[in-house]
Amino acid sequence: MGPHPAVADVRRAVRLALADLEPGDLVLAACSGGADSLALAAALAFVAPRAGLRAGLLTVDHGLQEGSARQAAEVVGLPLGLDPAEVLTVEVGAAGGPENAAREARYAALAAAAGRLGAAAVLLGHTRDDQAETVLMRLSRGSGTRSLAGMPARAGLYRRPLLELGRVTTVAACAALGLTPWEDPHNLDPRYTRVRVRERLLPALEEELGPGVAEALARTASLCRDDADALDAWADAVYARAAAVRGVPSATGDCALSDIPPGVPSVTLAVPELETLPAAVRRRVLRRAAIAAGAPPGTLSAAHILQVDRLITAWRGQRRVEVAGGVGAVRRYGTLIFAATP
């Protein structure tokens, strides 16, 4: 008799996610002890040795609640057969709010541990339900197709094998394996946006619109990802053709190209290459140029890019447009110049 269907589904998803790795590679599961990551870790423990892979476990102690160190120790002590199994203790700052700060600290710790241990991949336990929540949260902020694409199945070291599975599957898998998930109190705290989306908004949508909302939102993310990938590839090709690295203009930005001193990062774009492009592609090119000139991606908003876009689509001799991180854009002699203020 085979495994429970939920167990089989999770194992199959993990097996597919690891198919390209080489024998002997180390794979780490990021596990909080919740149902999703616990089912993931158990599946990795089953699949890895059969694929000739080494498997370990990482759990992050954010130190945000009493007893967190004890809970983390219990996770690494689970008899799953994963080795190494480590607790990563982090300090959570305040920048960007508690959710964002905890996420930044967590990913930094996971990346550092993966590098130290020589891991080929780190598995994350995000499910289809998490994807639906992410799409709804980004919709509320007026995001574009790249943001609405949600969480990718792969991003660098990170892999998310469970994005096609619902939370009901991971809960059932844990029950079938005799594993008791930890219920994080933060997952019920309505101060957190994601909790409100999970506990209030999604159930309300299901009640009013019928079942299948989470699946539909996850499907939307997949469709948006396909579109965003195509637009990004187009923008990359245009950027490579239209961009050139130059020096930095003067503090006001009111300078000719000959005023740019050498050795200071900046980017110039040929306006004729951009004028006839679809807006979605052109704005992607502008974003790439701003980042290449030093604008921090996290503070570069759609409003910033729209302002720069008007230097192309509504040119009236405007002066320098400030973007982010001290970087600005100015149009001179048919050329758009991105550079920081000295």
Point out the annotated binding site for ATP.
Answer: 32-37
Query: Checking phi first, is residue 245 left (phi over 0); if not, alpha (psi -120 to 50) or beta?
Result: beta
SS3 category, 337: strand
Q: How many residues does the chain have?
A: 342
- Residue of 49, 50, 52, 71 whose CA lies nearest to 60: 71
Phi (first) and psi of residue 33, to 5 degrees: 100, -10
Q: What angle do CA 280, 135, 147 make, to 5 degrees?
A: 30
Q: How far apart are CA 306 and CA 323, in angstroms?
A: 10
Q: Which residues are annotated as a binding site?
A: 32-37
Q: How far apart are CA 34 and CA 230, in angstroms?
A: 36
SS3 category, 262: coil
